[in-house]
Amino acid sequence: MTLFNPMLRASPLSEIFSDHSTLQGMLDFEAALARATALCGAIPESAVQPIAAQCQVDKLDVQALAQAAAGAGNLAIPLVKQLTACVKQHDEQAARYVHWGATSQDVIDSGLVLQLRAVLVASEALLGQLISALIEQIQRHQHSVMPGRTWMQHALPITFGLKLTGTLDALLRWQQRLHEMKPRVLVLQFGGAAGTLASLKEQGINVSLALANVLALNQADTPWHSQRDRLLEVGAWFAGVSTTLGKFANDFSLLMQTEVAEVGEPIAEGRGGSSTMPHKRNPVSCAAILTATTRIPGLMATLYASQNQQHERALGGWQAEWETLPELITLSGGVMQTALDLIVGMQVNAEKMRANLDITHGLIMAESVTLALATSLGKQAAHHLVEQLCHRALDENQPLAALLAQHPQVASYLSLTQIEHLLDPQQALGSNNTFINQVLARAAQQNRELV
């Protein structure tokens, strides 16, 4: 189904896993293989150009290839057959050297790695845009005070900038992991039938090195036909970035609830409406992100399960990756793109954030009063006293400040001015700004190091 692609997979990553790109990656491998084997003297130099010239998707009958794959067990076998026939039409001698020394899995896996290289480059750019957008919003809202919430209840004051900084902090770590991961996963697959390159005899290693060089991929110490940890690592990276952004979307949607109304999604014609209720402004971006992040753990479970592969070439586990990893990556790309659009265009109601701090009549600041009294009464006694006054404030619908000022034991230690100061949310932000500034500084440093 493609109907949901604009909703769930609208990112540059999706095109990289189109049918056309998948087949072209395999054909790029075949063209590079011809060049590498010729460089090493395994096939005639005269065969290279006729083979490379036919390594274009528009030369293939894609529908016939797909039908033949059902009987062959993979796409590579009918692809090589069609490619050979195309080359034979132009150069019968060159056709003898198509796919020389390789096996089907070499074609499919290396073609996939070429797609992964493109997708990691695109993801790096998308992640960089996300980080930049977050930095801009953090700087804008570093001092926008709001309720911090634990167990879905008011806890202590924080700033919206700090909430966004938590997401930025995680994305910076994902950016580091991507930088570290790329050399490990962008690796050639080339082992021949059983991972020994036996058909190339003593030329096997030289051809492998030349092929890696032509494709600009790293060389594996051994073929990895049934060792799939590299693909698992790639999948885990995309799943991890998506769940970080899923947490952001979940929080954002909760802050969008009518009774909270602290943020809103970007405003656009027809966005977030209802088929029956004209007043609705639904968190549609958050819904798209959470839809994808609900599915991604199941896809990761499949990748984990497919690690259990038999002997030198797998039955079932390898094949299970073919749709699973692209699906996971394209869903993750949709998450990243949707989150970027949301962060760039989000509406923030700082006044409502501040107003929501007061809906409990000062109770959110009770801890600061407790700590001030603890120096005289002791922690437990102070906690018990302030807790009782908090219960009264709720039961009698009175401001906590008034009850504190009227209580003789409190009044003997704290003046009204001191109480008002203790109940001011701006005075209870602790290391809020330090944490924000630390992450912003690390973002700036990381940008200099990784660019």
- The residues that are catalytic are 274, 313
406-414, Cβ contacts within 8 angstroms, sequence gap of 24 or more:
409/377, 409/385, 410/369, 410/373, 410/385, 413/372, 413/373, 413/376, 413/377, 414/369, 414/372, 414/373
Say whether 7 sits in a helix, a strand or coil: helix
Q: Considering only CA atoms, which of 399, 283, 299, 382 is closest in space to residue 339?
A: 283
Distance CA 368, CA 415 (A): 14
Distance CA 397, CA 240 (A): 45
**Locate tokens 């799943």: which residue?**
239
Query: From its phi and psi, is residue 212 left (phi > 0), alpha (psi between -120 and 50) or beta?
Result: alpha
| CB-based burial label for 118 (10 Å; 0-12, 13-18, 19+) | middle
| CB-based burial label for 162 (10 Å; 0-12, 13-18, 19+) | buried
CA torsion sign, 136 to 140 to 142 to 144?
negative
**Residues facing residue 154 across a β-bridge:** 149
Say whether 39 sits in a helix, a strand or coil: helix
**Contact by Cβ (8 Å): 11, 18:** no
Distance CA 74, CA 71 (A): 8
DSSP for 338-383 reads HHHHHHHH-EE-HHHHHHHTTTTTTGGGHHHHHHHHHHHH-HHHHH
Distance CA 59, CA 73 (A): 22
State how far Cα 232 lies from the chain centre.
Answer: 14
| CB-based burial label for 267 (10 Å; 0-12, 13-18, 19+) | exposed
Cβ count near 140 (within 10 Å): 14
| CA-only gyration radius of the chain, Å | 30
